[in-house]
Amino acid sequence: MKTTMIPTILMSLMATAVFAFDPPPVGSAAPDFSLIDANGKTHSLSQYKGKYVVLEWFNPECPFVKKHYGSGNMQKLQQQYTGKGVVWLTIDSNAPGTEGNVTPEQAQKITASWKTRQTALLLDPDGKVGRAYGAKNTPDMVIVNAEGKIAYEGAIDSEATPNPADIPNSTNYVKAALDESLAGKPVTTPQTRPYGCSVKYKSS
């Protein structure tokens, strides 16, 4: 890890310590939810029962998120797995007035200009869904299997830096978990420590 990146990463990790909620255990039922996407359409987890679903927590201003979108890495994953029938839901749980919160209009512009390939970008301004999943960072990744249970939770990959140059040398945990799951195999690494910017939740 490059020493110049350590302060940024430490600040992110310290910020996450404020929240005293944990993600549901791997293997447990994924909490159901309903959220509106950037186009005003409602999506619920239960409507995708029988399919694999990826949940990706998002902040367009976060350098760790920009690492994966600016390089095209996230779009490539989205396109690859939605093409295999996986539902990919990107979720913005940042509160209004905080870094990373987007309006529906802003979300539409981002998906167009960034050429994203997810199923939908969902807006969670009150943070209820993020809290239900214990999402603390962006990106924080969750995979829900066809039975509605959590198959993976944690980081997108093994390189906890905002540097896109580190992507080729990383282990992509989400890709590995999806490949194993779709092949009917158990997930070798079902949980890792997520990294990134803290989710800016609404004060309770």
Is 28 part of any domain? no
Residue 88 belongs to domain spanning: 3-15+36-198
One-letter identity of residue 35:
L
In a domain, 203, yes or no: no
Give, in order, the Cα–Cα distances in Å from 6 to each of 12, 51, 68: 10, 38, 19
* CATH at residue 139: 3.40.30.10
pTM of the model: 0.90
Q: What digits encode the pLDDT tens for the residues 25-74? A: 999 999 999 999 999 999 999 999 999 999 999 999 999 999 999 999 99
User: What's the pLDDT score for residue 13?
Assistant: 40
pLDDT, tens digit, 9 for 90 and up, residues 124-173 = 999 999 999 999 999 999 999 999 999 999 999 999 999 999 999 999 99
- Residue 31 placed within a domain: no
SS3 string of 6-18? HHHHHHHHHHHCC
Contact 33, 45 (CB under 8 A): yes
Tens of pLDDT, residue by residue over 91-103, are 999 999 999 999 9
- Is the Cβ–Cβ distance between 149 and 29 less than 8 Å? yes
CB-count burial class (<10 Å; 0-12, 13-18, 19+) for 112 = exposed
SS3 of residue 104 by DSSP: helix
Q: State the total domains in the chain.
A: 1
- 69 inside domain: yes
On whether the CB atoms of residues 117 and 78 are closer than 8 A, the answer is yes
Q: What distances in angstroms separate CA 120 from CA 2, 29, 65, 73, 171, one per listed residue? A: 34, 22, 17, 17, 26
Residue 22 lies in a domain: no
Give a yes or no: residue 21 inside a domain: no
- What's the pLDDT at 85? 98
Provide the 8-state DSSP code for 89. E
Sign of CA pseudo-dihedral 109, 111, 112, 115: positive
Asked, for residue 41, whether it belongs to a domain, the answer is yes
Q: Could you tell me how many residues make up the chain?
A: 204
Asked if the structure places residue 129 within a domain, the reply is yes
Looking up tokens 């490949």, which residue turns up?
179
